[in-house]
């Protein structure tokens, strides 16, 4: 398996996730990922089998620039910071084909997003946090990777995404 940027010839039509809750992830990969990638709206990285004449996507992760809005009256995670938002990188999409789930590929893609953010983005651009809007079924997965639920006053339902964050200054790479 190799991890690389999405390419025009990647086959995504047979990408299956196995659960109705993830239908929008598949739709994004099939309909929007290549266009958004080419237009620099998101960058999508794919996990494919090596040495395939027509690589089939086994998993993918899409990253974008974003920000976390904060309420200054609640204090700041970073004392002395004057702005009302923190710059961050957002995991916009993460999915593993149903035949390859629970093999550590999702963990590897999250670790990749941490590494690229710390080693490339943080060294060159102001950015301290990695965030994700987690589906309820994925909250425990992201918690196990070091993400924390962002406290909000919004009512949550079983279909609502929950904002989670990671302070990358507290993560030490080998």
Per-residue pLDDT reduced to its tens digit, 113-138: 999 999 999 999 989 999 999 988 88
What domain range is 137 assigned to?
Answer: 2-170
Instruction: Give yes or no for a contact between 29 and 112, defined as CB atoms under 8 angstroms apart.
Output: no
Residue positions counted in the chain: 174
Instruction: Give yes or no for a contact between 48 and 97, defined as CB atoms under 8 angstroms apart.
Output: no
Looking up residue 29, the CATH number of its domain turns out to be 3.40.630.30
Q: How far apart are CA 100 and CA 102, in angstroms?
A: 7
- Write the CA distances from 72 to 80, 139, 154, integer angstroms: 11, 26, 17
DSSP 16: -
SS3 151: coil
What is the domain count for the chain?
A: 1
Give the model's pLDDT for residue 158. 53
Tell me the pTM: 0.86
Write the secondary structure of 30-88 as one string of H (helix), E (strand) and C (coil). HHHHHHHHHCCCCEEEEEECCCCCCCEEEEEEEEEEEEEECCHHHCCCCCCCCCCEEEE
Instruction: Give yes or no for a contact between 166 and 146, defined as CB atoms under 8 angstroms apart.
Output: yes
pLDDT digits 0-9 by tens, 2-36: 999 988 878 777 777 777 777 788 788 888 999 99
């Amino acid at each position: 398996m190799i991890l690389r940027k999405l390419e025009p010839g990647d086959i995504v039509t047979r990408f299956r996730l196995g659960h109705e809750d993830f239908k929008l992830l598949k739709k994004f990969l099939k309909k929007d990922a290549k266009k958004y990638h080419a237009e620099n709206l998101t960058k999508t990285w794919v996990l494919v089998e090596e040495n395939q004449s027509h690589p089939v996507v086994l998993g993918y992760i899409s990253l974008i620039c974003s920000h976390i809005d904060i309420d200054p009256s609640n204090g700041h995670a970073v004392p002395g910071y004057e702005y009302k938002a923190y710059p961050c990188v957002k995991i916009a999409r993460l999915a593993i084909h149903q035949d390859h789930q629970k093999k550590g590929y999702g963990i590897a893609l999250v670790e990749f997003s941490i590494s690229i953010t710390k080693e490339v983005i943080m060294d060159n651009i102001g950015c301290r946090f990695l965030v994700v809007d987690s589906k309820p079924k994925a909250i425990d997965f992201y918690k196990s990777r070091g993400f924390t639920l962002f406290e909000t006053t919004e009512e949550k339902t079983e279909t609502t995404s929950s904002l989670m964050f990671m302070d990358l200054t507290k993560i030490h790479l080998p």
